[in-house]
């Protein structure tokens, strides 16, 4: 006698758990001057540079920051920060622009691929989340389908 087995699977839900990457880039503009009374004055402005998923992936894969330089890394993060060399001249404003790049591993957990997380409208199925400053990216491999027989 020949037996055949037939099983019915149903998807319980998609569990989301893994690490993604959080990337950020900032531009700093320093202004150095000496006043009429020979007082040295420094003024600093900070500007957030919004990254795309592609630029974040490039930074993670190559560990370099555009034309700025090679990042310093440890087990779960990398950073690069240019340090300005102050140039003070009497009654002349010297502007120097520098950049700071940073990325690190960020844990992503959600009940299912349509659940919101990070207190934002971001969902696991989006594969990217733009926060106020940085972005967080991940691959679709963080979505684990749970089956029931």
Ordered by start, the domain boundaries in the chain are 11-148
d(CA 100, CA 81): 4
For the ranges 23-37, 98-112, 126-140, the one whose mean pLDDT is highest? 23-37
Check if the beta carbon of residue 42 is closer than 8 Å to that of residue 32.
yes
Q: In which residue are the tokens 């009497």 written?
A: 90
- pLDDT (tens digit, 9 = 90+) per residue, 2-29? 655 544 544 455 667 778 899 999 999 9
């Amino acid at each position: 006698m020949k037996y055949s087995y037939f099983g019915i699977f149903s998807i319980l839900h998609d569990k989301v758990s893994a690490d993604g990457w959080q990337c950020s880039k900032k531009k700093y503009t320093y202004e150095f001057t000496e006043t009429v009374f020979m007082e040295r004055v420094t003024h600093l402005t900070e500007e957030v540079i919004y990254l795309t998923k592609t630029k974040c992936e490039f930074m993670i894969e190559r560990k370099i920051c555009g034309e700025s330089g090679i990042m310093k890394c440890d087990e779960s993060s990398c950073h690069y920060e240019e340090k300005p060399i102050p140039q003070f001249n009497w009654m002349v404003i010297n502007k120097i622009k520098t950049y700071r790049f940073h990325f690190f591993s960020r844990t992503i957990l959600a009940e299912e691929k349509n659940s919101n997380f990070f207190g934002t409208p971001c969902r696991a199925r989006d594969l990217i989340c733009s926060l106020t400053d940085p972005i967080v990216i991940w691959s679709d491999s963080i979505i684990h389908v749970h089956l029931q027989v």
